[in-house]
C-alpha cells in the first residue's frame, strides 16, 4: 500500500518490509452462482452451501458476517492516546468456511469424514479515508502473516498446529 490520498487525507502504512518481493499464492476462483446456494440471510450474516457433493448433505458451508464496533481502539495498545482519531466507530467483517474432507485407508478400507474450518476477520475504522486500497493491504498482510518468509505453502500453519508458535528466526 505505502500511501494514498482521499480528499484531504493521506493514508500511509507505518512499517518497512525488509523483503520487498511479493508472493503469488494461487487461490481457487469459487463459482458462487453455479456451485453454491443461499442457505440463510439476515441483516448482518449470510451462509451459502456448496451443492456439488455426491450426496444430499452439503460438505462445505461459507458464512459471511459483519458487526458494528463502537470503539476500534479498545484492546489495541499500539496507538498513543494523542493519536486517537475523533471517530472511533468501525466495522468487523468475517468470511468463514467449513469444509469436510473424506479420508479412506487404502489398506484397511476405513473411511472417515474430517471437519475443518478457516476464518478471516478484519476490523476497520468507519472513516472515509479507509478505501479498498487499505482493506486490500490489510487482507494481504493478514494472509502473509500465516506464511513463512519466502513461502507460499501451508508449512507455517502446520508448524503452528504442532506447537511452534513463533516463526523461524524469532
Q: Where are the domains of the chain?
A: 28-128, 131-170
Mean pLDDT, range 161-168, rounded to an integer: 90
Cα separation, 23 vs 33, whole angstroms = 29
pTM given for the model:
0.86
Cα separation, 102 vs 114, whole angstroms = 6
At 13-23, the pLDDT tens digits run: 878 888 888 88
Burial classification of residue 1, based on how many CB atoms lie within 10 Å of its CB (0-12 exposed, 13-18 middle, 19 or more buried): middle
Give the helix ranges, DSSP H, for the chain: 32-35, 132-144, 155-161
Instruction: Say if residue 123's pLDDT is above 90.
Output: yes
**SS3 of 1, please?**
coil
Percent of the chain with pLDDT over 90: 64
At 26-72, the pLDDT tens digits run: 899 999 999 999 999 999 999 999 999 888 888 899 999 999 999 99
| C-beta separation of 125 from 72 below 8 A | yes
Task: Please give the class, per CATH, of domain 28-128.
Answer: alpha beta
Mean pLDDT for the chain overall: 91
Amino acid at each position: 500500500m505505502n500511501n494514498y490520498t482521499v480528499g484531504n487525507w493521506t493514508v500511509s502504512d507505518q512499517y518497512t518490509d525488509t523483503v520487498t518481493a511479493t508472493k503469488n499464492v494461487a487461490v481457487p476462483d469459487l463459482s458462487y452462482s453455479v456451485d453454491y446456494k443461499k442457505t440463510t440471510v439476515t441483516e448482518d450474516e449470510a451462509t451459502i452451501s456448496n451443492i456439488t457433493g455426491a450426496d444430499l448433505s452439503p460438505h462445505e458451508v461459507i458464512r459471511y458476517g459483519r458487526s458494528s464496533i463502537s470503539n476500534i481502539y479498545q484492546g489495541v495498545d499500539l496507538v498513543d492516546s494523542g493519536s486517537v482519531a475523533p471517530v472511533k466507530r468501525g466495522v468487523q467483517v468475517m468470511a468463514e468456511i467449513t469444509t469436510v474432507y473424506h479420508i479412506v485407508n487404502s489398506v484397511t478400507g476405513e473411511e472417515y469424514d474430517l471437519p475443518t474450518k478457516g476464518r478471516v476477520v478484519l476490523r476497520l475504522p468507519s472513516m472515509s479515508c479507509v478505501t479498498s486500497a487499505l482493506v486490500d493491504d490489510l487482507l494481504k498482510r493478514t494472509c502473509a502473516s500465516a506464511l513463512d518468509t519466502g513461502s507460499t505453502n501451508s508449512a507455517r500453519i502446520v508448524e503452528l498446529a504442532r506447537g511452534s508458535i513463533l516463526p523461524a528466526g524469532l
